[in-house]
């Protein structure tokens, strides 16, 4: 495998990274060409990303289309609802995709979209969300939380918490099982999900059963006080982008000695009592070291955690090259983890 440490298989490397026996920085830090470390099926998209980044005026990130086209039935169809927002704040829109075959006792996947805290929508990657709801056998609820910098922390957290509150209070009407609610998200959405799990633990009102964190954005110090090896964070999501996202959310430069309590999961001192977690990230993703560190700290705090690190994969690779073998395996692992975490046994 390209970029693998000598004598170690892909599966062996994955297991070793998960246990801390192999550093994701040591073996690759001296590599002269980061592209050589990228999985072959992901290289063309990585090269395109690098070309765009090198242009004098790179194009702005495109927002999802105004009306994302869903997969037709029998795929579960999206339904938009509005739920009561936080006290003194607007109501919150949610998109519900019911992939459960149950009439009562449905497991729920409360999902937060990505976008670096400053962009994205609750209906982005709609078809992928339909597939995730269908294959996991869950009711997926995607939150249209308020974005930074117009809304600083804790605005988005309170939006997400309001939806968690609504799910618990309306569980009977929705036909869901209060004891089987997972929170999760991709990228910044994974960061929001981790913040929500911490807030729910601290407030002690509405329990969460599981965390599904996909290349989550967990620590503002990455690239702002904590150095990043040159081959990590080269493609798609870079140190500069990371600084911008965290600055917008926190209202201060990232990496300062103090941050608002609960705003940066990687800085929360006590992780005991959090729900079991599954964390998945690419080995070349800017977030890989902070995600590994968070998994280690969860494990040390007695929180069951499973960590998946995919060699040769950069940020958001499964969305950028969904047909690649590593993307399909990554997505299958996410679905399997969600089903295990919520005890879904239906086909």
Name the residue among 278, 318, 191, 308 with its Cα closest to residue 242: 191
Name the residue among 19, 4, 24 with its Cα closest to residue 288: 24
82 neighbors 92 (Cβ within 8 angstroms): yes
Assess whether the previous peptide bond of 74 is cis (omega < 30° from 0): yes
Q: Give per-residue pLDDT as tens, 165-188.
A: 999 999 999 999 999 999 999 999
| Exposed / middle / buried, residue 87 (Cβ in 10 Å: 0-12, 13-18, 19+) | exposed
Domains and CATH numbers, the chain: 42-46+74-342 (3.40.50.1820)
Query: How many whole angstroms from its chain centre is CA 312?
Result: 18
How large is the average pLDDT for residues 246-251? 98
> Is pLDDT larger for residue 233 or for residue 10?
233
Q: Give per-residue pLDDT as tens, 42-76.
A: 999 999 988 887 776 554 444 555 679 999 999 99
pLDDT of residue 138 exceeding 70, the answer is: yes
The pTM assigned to this predicted structure is 0.89
pLDDT at 88: 96
User: What residues are labeled active site?
Assistant: 187, 285, 315
How large is the average pLDDT for residues 152-160? 98
């Amino acid at each position: 495998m390209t970029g693998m440490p000598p004598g170690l298989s892909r599966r062996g490397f994955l297991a070793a990274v998960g246990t801390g026996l192999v550093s994701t920085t040591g073996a690759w830090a001296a590599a002269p060409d980061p592209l050589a470390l990228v999985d072959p099926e992901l290289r063309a998209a990585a090269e395109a990303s690098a070309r765009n980044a090198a242009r004098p005026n790179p194009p702005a990130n495109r927002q999802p289309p105004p009306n994302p086209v869903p997969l037709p039935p029998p795929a579960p169809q999206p339904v938009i609802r509005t739920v009561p927002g936080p006290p003194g704040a607007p109501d919150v829109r949610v998109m519900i995709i019911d992939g459960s075959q149950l009439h009562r006792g449905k497991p729920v996947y409360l999902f937060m979209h990505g976008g670096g805290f400053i962009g994205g929508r609750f209906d982005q990657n709609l078809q992928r969300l339909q597939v995730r709801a269908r294959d996991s056998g869950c009711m997926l609820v995607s939150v249209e939380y308020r974005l930074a910098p117009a809304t600083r922390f804790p605005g988005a957290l309170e939006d997400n918490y309001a939806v968690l509150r609504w799910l618990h209070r309306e569980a009977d009407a929705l036909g869901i099982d209060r004891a089987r609610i997972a929170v999760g998200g991709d990228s910044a959405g994974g960061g929001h999900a981790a913040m929500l799990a911490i807030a729910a633990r601290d407030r002690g009102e509405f329990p969460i059963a599981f965390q599904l964190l996909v290349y989550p954005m967990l620590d503002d110090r990455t690239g702002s006080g904590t150095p990043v090896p040159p081959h990590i964070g080269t493609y798609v999501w870079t140190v500069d982008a990371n600084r911008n996202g965290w600055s917008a959310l926190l209202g201060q430069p990232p990496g300062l000695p103090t941050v608002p309590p609960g705003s940066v999961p990687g800085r929360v001192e006590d992780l005991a009592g959090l729900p079991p977690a599954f964390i998945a990230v690419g080995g070349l993703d800017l977030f890989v070291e902070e995600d590994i560190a968070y998994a280690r700290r969860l494990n040390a705090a007695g929180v069951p955690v499973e960590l998946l690190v995919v060699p040769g994969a950069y940020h958001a690779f499964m969305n950028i090259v969904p047909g690649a073998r590593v993307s399909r395996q990554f997505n299958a692992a996410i679905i399997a983890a969600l089903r295990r975490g919520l005890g879904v046994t239906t086909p």
